[in-house]
């Protein structure tokens, strides 16, 4: 029955079930969205539910450990997000998932938290998974950047950008942006300055834009992450 429901979901999304490598008898891969007490996480959950994933908004360490993919969303203040993540003891979960090679996605402040620190909260350490700092956009620019903007794809072949062309529009809401090593940068956008829009390292991805708010292309992005989780689950 679960396989039938999954196939029906695939048809509704006009996606071939052959693209989702699930064995008979397996349910949809579990995507764990880390719930650490910040607001507006439901939109991220719904974004992955739309592509057929079994999605849990959770702080349950055991459930997260069993997940095929893990998503770290984030909204608001960098320092508050980091404090809440550590208070929920989910920082160790992040480290464990990334170290194990579980497909992992950071979104917006969730992306920023993966780096060493932010000018928004100089006294609060980031997770330090990736090298770099998060810096305030220049005073000469309107803050936040709250708009659709075009991706400038700098690194070809990222599986999460499969079917997403250079110049595609994604939705951004942020006042701070990551400064990191060029080897990690998959895509940027232009906002008076060059803004890091997406980074990648192994099975770790992070975006400054919001896939769940980016319409059809955002859905394609979520589908690509789901496909990575499904592949890893075989």
| DSSP tag of 125 | B
pTM of the model: 0.88
Lowest mean pLDDT among 67-71, 89-93, 147-151, 229-233: 229-233
**pLDDT tens digits, one per residue of 170-217:** 999 999 999 999 999 999 999 999 999 999 999 999 999 999 999 999
Pick the catalytic residue: 108, 120, 174, 200? 108
Annotated active-site residue 179? The verdict is no
Q: Is-catalytic flag, 210?
A: yes
Pick the CATH number of 2-232 from 3.40.50.880, 3.40.50.300, 3.90.25.10, 3.40.640.10: 3.40.50.880
Nearest one of 122, 102, 123, 126 to 113, comparing CA atoms = 126
Examine the pLDDT at 140 and tell me if it is beyond 50.
yes
Cα distance between residue 122 and residue 117, in whole Å: 7
CA 171/CA 131 separation, integer angstroms: 25
Where along the chain do its domains lie? 2-232
Q: Is 111 helix (H, G, I), strand (E, B) or coil?
A: helix
Q: Which of 10, 120, 200, 210 is catalytic?
A: 210
Q: Catalytic annotation on 18? A: no
């Amino acid at each position: 029955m679960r396989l039938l429901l999954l196939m029906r979901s695939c048809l509704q999304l006009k996606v071939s079930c052959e693209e989702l490598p699930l064995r008979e008898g397996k349910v949809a891969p579990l995507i764990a969205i880390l719930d650490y007490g910040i607001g507006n996480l439901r939109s991220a959950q719904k974004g992955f539910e739309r592509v057929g994933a079994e999605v849990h908004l959770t702080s349950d360490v055991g459930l997260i450990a069993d997940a095929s993919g893990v998503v770290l969303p984030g909204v608001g203040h960098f320092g508050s997000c980091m404090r809440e993540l550590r208070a929920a003891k989910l920082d160790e979960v992040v480290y464990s998932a990334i170290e194990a090679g579980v497909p992992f996605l950071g979104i917006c402040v969730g992306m920023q938290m993966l780096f060493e620190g932010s000018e928004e909260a100089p006294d609060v350490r980031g997770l330090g998974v990736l090298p770099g700092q998060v810096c305030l956009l220049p005073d000469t620019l309107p803050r936040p950047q709250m708009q659709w903007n075009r991706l400038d794809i700098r690194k070809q072949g990222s599986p999460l950008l499969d079917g997403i062309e250079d110049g595609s529009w994604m939705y951004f809401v942020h006042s701070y942006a990551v400064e990191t090593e060029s080897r990690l940068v998959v895509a940027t956008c232009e906002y008076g300055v060059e803004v890091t829009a997406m980074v990648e390292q192994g099975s770790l991805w992070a975006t400054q834009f919001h896939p769940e708010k980016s319409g059809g292309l955002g859905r394609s992005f979520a589908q690509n992450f789901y496909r990575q989780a499904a592949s890893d689950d075989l």
